[in-house]
A and B are shown apart, each in its own frame.
Chain A
Amino acid sequence: MENFQYILPEIFISVSIMLFLLVGVFKKNSGSLIYNLSNISLVILLALIINLSSLDTIYLFNESYLIDNLSNYMKMILVGSGIFVMLTGSKYIQVINLNKIEYPILILSSILGMMIMISSNDLIVFYMGLELQSLALYVLASFNRDNLLSTESGLKYFVLSALSSGLLLYGCSLTYGFSESTNFDQILINSTEFNYGTTFGIVFILVGLAFKISAVPFHMWAPDVYQGSPTSVTLFFAILPKIAALSVFIKFLYTPFANMNDQWQTIIVFISIASMIFGAVAAIGQKNLKRLIAYSSISHMGYALAGLATVSNQGIQSSITYISIYLVMNLAFFSCLFMLKRNDNYFDNIEDLSGLSKKHPILSFSLLIVLFSLAGIPPLAGFFAKFYVFLAVIEQSMYFLAIVGLLATVVAAFYYLRIIKIIYFDPEKEEYETSHNLGLKITLAISTIFILAYFIYPSGITEIVSKITMI
């Protein structure tokens, strides 16, 4: 029984979910109440996770559940960004009439699923967490059910995601069949010899994971889902599943399959290069900001994977740093998007930003910072994210990956510049509303200052991340 103190966060969030469901059933129109309660419970959850973070590696439940530095850090940024996602979206879901009790509850359940994914040390536990988060995400994507695009995106996501889950399961069963265990550490021990079955298993599992992280060539769902979902859900999609999937990626590559890095390294390098290039090129022609950010996130995932491809602690740490900075940039970007509101309508086309800088200097300045940071221009945070990744990549003498990646940033810079051009150089349009809820303003302020001032003390994240060692 004493084990339960270590999974207190998971237990707490499960109990909260059930409790909120009960409240929702017995109390009419309690959408806002539950929304706020969920937010508070996320804050408590964060505190609980931080409380555990001083511990060493702990195996639980017959070694199927693992709490270590990696899982703690990932859960922390997961829940932390979850809080900000909720804060920024609160006004939005009221305006577009989505303020139902299911919305926060689904978000909490998918966060629970992600936490289980992050901590899993067993194929079955991992799959359980994955399905919990995916099922919640299917519903969230189509949450705006009267909107054609939203239902379409939910369905699309469901069909493709189910397919990838199938592939993943197939991979898991192959791995299990040839390595005789579902436990990650056991698989590692059993798969030392040259083992074709497990190699196939790796390929299928990587395909499934690449789908979750929306890496090329398994990215097809991303643009439609990003565009179709309600913006608050898009923000959720852009950050949280990526954190979970990346951490599972790290876990799979460096625990059960650590001995087979010759086999998977090429795959990761290919996925990474393809994502960087495709994300950069395909975003050029986009007209919708949400769609554009989908392509941009594809290319960002390419960079995060580039760190993983190095088979070094430095690389893993750089990927984790990358995703941490990436999530702040996305928070800032979407906060700006939530501010494009006029008469209860939200705008998300690039053209809607035309001449924004004249009437909304502060908002445009934040967007400017965020976009240059996404493009990876120093001295903003986005540059350091890329810098760490390339530091790790070049350490392993993977010059091809480094050069392709950096050239892709130049291509990507073009479409970020195009948005800046529209904001700053083009003739102005109608004004947007200037009154926003406090949560949104705080999120935007914190994230912009983080991006802008990152260079003053860049070692902050690296010091925390440097505790995470897998090899």
Chain B
Amino acid sequence: MNFPILSSLILLPTIGALFILFTKSSSGKYQSSKYVALFISLANFLLSLYLWYVFDKNSVDFQFVENREWLSGFINYKVGIDGISILFVILTTFITPICIISVNATITNRLKDFLIAILIMETFMIGVFCSLDLVVFYLFFEAGLIPMFLIIGIWGGERRVYSAFKFFLYTLLGSVLMLVAIISIYWITGTTDVEKLYELGINAEYQNLLWLAFFSSFAVKTPMWPVHTWLPDAHVEAPTVGSVLLAAILLKMAGYGFIRFSLGLFPIASENFTMLVYILSLIAIIYTSLVALMQEDMKKLIAYSSVAHMGFVTLGIFTMTQQGIEGSIFQMISHGLVSAALFLSVGVIYERHHTRLINKYGGLVSIMPRYAIVFMVFTLGALGLPGTTGFIGEFLILMGAFEKNILVAMIASLGVILGAAYMLWLFKRVVFGEINNQELKSMKDLKTFEIITLSALVIPILFFGFYPEPLMNSIEASVENTLNMYNFDLINNLVSKD
């Protein structure tokens, strides 16, 4: 147990990035650096799988904890994982190599810089999910803005500057309040160590304000209605790989933060604000689904669908039931896979036809049959058909919601229907129908690397759709523990009030 496996996971991509930075490639195309990046990210993926293998699924404690003195005496560098965070770590290490494989398709200039940005991004993303200290968490959480800003801004589409700024400033604005809250927590309790905070608890009188400060950050990042507007812009303008990272992992940071911090640290406030989250989530589900129906740009449609899906996630988390939270985590993993796959699929046809407008396509099934098949799987995954991961997540969330509030659950169920509507309509317009555009006929079916990346995503979507047990096993104990702590704190608070 002496080997610092989590720190290696965090640092390995950075080391790879440094390696790429300092190697000069003789050919201008930097193919070799791509292989280096791929090798590093695959090694990281294998390392995280090994981590999952040795991870004790029945334990509720944080495992592989590393605790080093960092900020003289008062803040330690502390990382560790439990059943919840390990899944997100694996999701991150799984998505990154896929991104690197599909880099060629979209990135033509400055490939080397792009690979460095992605690898640095991976470091920060893994760091977010591993950190067990609020300040360390904040550090990783915010640091991710830098590479993402550059990814959108340098390699993005026409309005990339606007989108990059909007992304950066929105997120920063949300996060600074979280920093105030973190520092306040330090002065209130004398520590920012998450484990210690779980034991100590935070005085009820402070919880509401602190919760709101954390919420302001997570709500922007999730994103929740009405601060979701940066997401469609960022998605549309980002290069395909950027969108994939953004949708698959960055958005999950906030959902993870809700479970780990909002629920874990501020149970009383979470209880107080449950209705607020329900309402915002419902608006997100219904409203953005309707907006998604009207989109003409494929990426924008998927971006809005992401907001709706994340609405389900927040709803599930704040049902405070075993099913709801497990469903939310499952939904996040599922959305991570499905949205990544959808963005890659859009990237595939965008690269061939250079437009993302839906009405420019039609009848792809007869030109690109293989593409039509994988795209169908992803569409069905997005709308939550039984047999895909999407179904399990939504089903559990709705189960949790029905237990707590029937009205909320019923409205949320409407979102499932709307989700099916916009996804199927998108699929119909793009894949079926007449080929009304002669240029489309010259489009080639999937290339080898596209088959590799897309099928790498099809497999887990279907596998865990039919057999969710492995994922459920690893989160079950931790979720139960979180809920127990949560209820224990609530009861304690009631007792102390009487």
A377 and B142 contact, CB distance less than 8 A: yes
State how many angstroms separate the Cβ of B129 from the closest Cβ of chain A.
16
Given the known inter-chain contacts A425-B154, A462-B71, please indicate yes or no for A455 contacting B139, CB distance below 8 A: yes
Are A459 and B70 CB-contacts (below 8 A) given A421-B165, A425-B153? yes
CB–CB A377/B169 < 8 A: no
Given contacts A406-B176, A410-B176, A414-B169, contact A424 B154 (CB under 8 A): yes
Q: Taking A378-B139, A399-B180, A424-B153 as contacts, is the C-beta distance between A458 and B146 under 8 angstroms?
A: no
Task: Tell me if B160 is interfacial: C-beta within 8 Å of chain A.
Answer: yes
B159-173: which residues lie under 8 A (CB-CB) from chain A?
160-161, 164-165, 168-169, 172-173
Whether A413 pairs with B172 at a CB distance below 8 angstroms is yes
B176, A379: Cβ atoms closer than 8 Å: no
When C-beta atoms are compared, the residue in chain B nearest to A413 turns out to be B172
Contact between chains at B164 and A421 (CB < 8 Å): yes
A391, CB-defined interface residue at 8 Å: yes
A458 smallest CB distance to B (angstroms): 5
Given contacts A403-B180, A455-B139, contact A421 B186 (CB under 8 A): no
- Is B150 positioned at the interface, with any CB of A under 8 Å from its CB? yes
Residue pairs across A and B with CB atoms within 8 Å: the count is: 85
Contacts of B138 in A (CB 8 A): 378
Task: Name B's interface SS.
Answer: helix
Q: Which of A391, A463, A466 neighbours the largest number of chain B CB atoms within 10 Å of its CB? A: A391
A462 to chain B, nearest CB (A): 5
Question: Which residue in B70, B161, B186 is a CB contact (below 8 Å) of A458?
Answer: B70
A378–B180 contact, CB under 8 A?
no
**Alpha-carbon separation in the docked complex, A96 to B179 (Å):** 46
Q: Does B204 contact A (CB under 8 A)?
A: no
The digit string for B450-479, where 1 denotes a CB below 8 A from any CB of A, is 000000000000000000000000000000
Q: Determine the chain B residues whose CB is within 8 A of the CB of A378 once the complex forms.
A: 138-140, 142-143
B180 touching A402, Cβ below 8 Å: yes
Binary flags per residue of A341-364, CB closer than 8 Å to B gives 1, else 0? 000000000000000000001000
For A407, the closest partner residue in chain B by CB is B176
Q: Is B145 an interface residue (CB 8 A)?
A: yes
Q: Does B184 contact A (CB under 8 A)?
A: yes
Q: Mark B12-31, 1 if CB is under 8 A from A, else 0.
A: 00000000000000000000
Give residues of chain B (35-78) contacting chain A, Cβ–Cβ below 8 Å.
69-73
| Cβ of B225 under 8 Å from chain A | no
> Taking the nearest CB of chain A, how far is it from the CB of B298, in angstroms?
24
Q: Which residue of B lies closest to A457 (CB)?
A: B70
Q: Which of B145, B153, B187 contacts A377 (CB 8 A)?
A: B145
Contacts of A399 on B, CB cut-off 8 Å? 180, 184
CA of A425 to CA of B156, assembled, Å: 10
Inside 8 A of A424's CB, which chain B residues have their CB?
150, 153-154
* Shortest beta-carbon distance from A176 to chain B in Å: 40
A406 to B216, CA, bound (A): 14
A409 to B160, CA, bound (A): 23
Convert B160-202 into 0s and 1s, putting 1 for each residue whose CB lies closer than 8 angstroms to a CB of A. 1100110011001100110110011011000000000000000
Which residues of chain B from 122 to 168 have any CB-CB distance to chain A below 8 Å in the complex? 135, 138-140, 142-143, 145-146, 149-150, 153-154, 160-161, 164-165, 168
Check A406 against B177 for contact (C-beta < 8 Å): yes
Query: In the complex the two chains form, what is the Cα distance from A402 to B135 in whole Å?
Result: 17
Is B153 touching A406 in the complex (CB atoms < 8 A)?
Answer: no
CB-defined interface of A369-405 with B at 8 Å, one 1/0 digit per residue? 0001000011100010001001100110001001100
What 1/0 mask marks residues of chain A from 404 to 430 whose CB sits below 8 Å from any chain B CB?
001101100110010011001100000
Query: Do B149 and A417 have beta carbons less than 8 Å apart?
Result: yes
Task: Find out whether the CB atom of A458 lies under 8 angstroms from the CB atom of B71.
Answer: yes
> A463 near B72 (CB under 8 angstroms)?
yes
Contacts of A407 in B (CB 8 A): 173, 176
Q: Given the interface contacts A425-B161, A459-B70, does A372 sit within 8 Å of B179 by beta carbon?
A: no
CB distance from A156 to the nearest CB of B (A): 34
Given known contacts A458-B70, A459-B72, A390 and B168 CB-to-CB distance under 8 angstroms: no
B72 contacts across to A, CB distance below 8 A: 458-459, 462-463, 466
Chain A residues whose CB sits within 8 angstroms of the CB of B168 once the complex forms: 413, 417
Contacts of B164 in A (CB 8 A): 417, 421, 425
Q: Is the beta-carbon distance between B154 and A394 smaller than 8 angstroms?
A: no
* With A425-B160, A458-B70: A417-B165 Cβ-Cβ less than 8 Å: yes
Q: Name the residue on B nearest A422 (C-beta).
A: B161
Interface string of A176-210 (1 = CB under 8 A from B): 00000000000000000000000000000000000
Q: How long is the Cα–Cα vector from A377 to B161 in the complex, in angstroms? A: 19
Give bound CA distance, A463 to B154, whole Å: 40
Q: How far is the CA of A409 from the CA of B145 in the complex (A)?
A: 15
Q: Mark B214-234, 1 if CB is under 8 A from A, else 0.
A: 000000000000000000000
A331 to B207, CA, bound (A): 42
Q: Is the CB of A391 within 8 A of B186?
A: yes
A334 to chain B, nearest CB (A): 22
Contacts of A372 in B (CB 8 A): 146
A377 touches B179 (CB 8 A): no
Chain B residue nearest to A358 in the complex (CB): B110
Interface string of A427-471 (1 = CB under 8 A from B): 000000000000000000000000000010011001100100000
> Could you say which of A395, A409, A414, A459 contacts B71, with CB atoms under 8 Å apart?
A459
Whether A410 contacts B169 by the Cβ 8 Å rule is yes
Q: Could you tell me the distance in whole angstroms from the C-beta of A246 to the nearest C-beta in chain B?
A: 22
- Most chain B beta-carbon neighbours within 10 Å: one of A361, A378, A421, A463: A378
The answer on a CB contact under 8 Å between B183 and A391 is yes
Q: Are A410 and B173 in contact (CB under 8 A)?
A: yes
Given A377-B146, A407-B176, A459-B70, CB of A390 within 8 Å of CB of B160: no
**B172: min CB distance to chain A, Å:** 5
Cβ contacts A to B, 12 pairs, < 8 Å: A378-B140, A379-B139, A383-B142, A387-B135, A390-B183, A394-B184, A394-B187, A402-B183, A409-B176, A417-B169, A425-B164, A459-B72
Task: Give the B-binding residues of A (Cβ under 8 A).
Answer: 361, 372, 377-379, 383, 387, 390-391, 394-395, 399, 402-403, 406-407, 409-410, 413-414, 417, 420-421, 424-425, 455, 458-459, 462-463, 466
Known pairs A391-B186, A458-B72, A459-B71; list 7 more (Cβ under 8 Å): A361-B113, A377-B142, A377-B145, A379-B143, A413-B168, A425-B164, A458-B71
Q: What 7 A-B pairs have minimum CB-CB distances, sorted nearest first? A: A459-B72, A406-B176, A378-B139, A394-B183, A378-B142, A410-B173, A425-B153
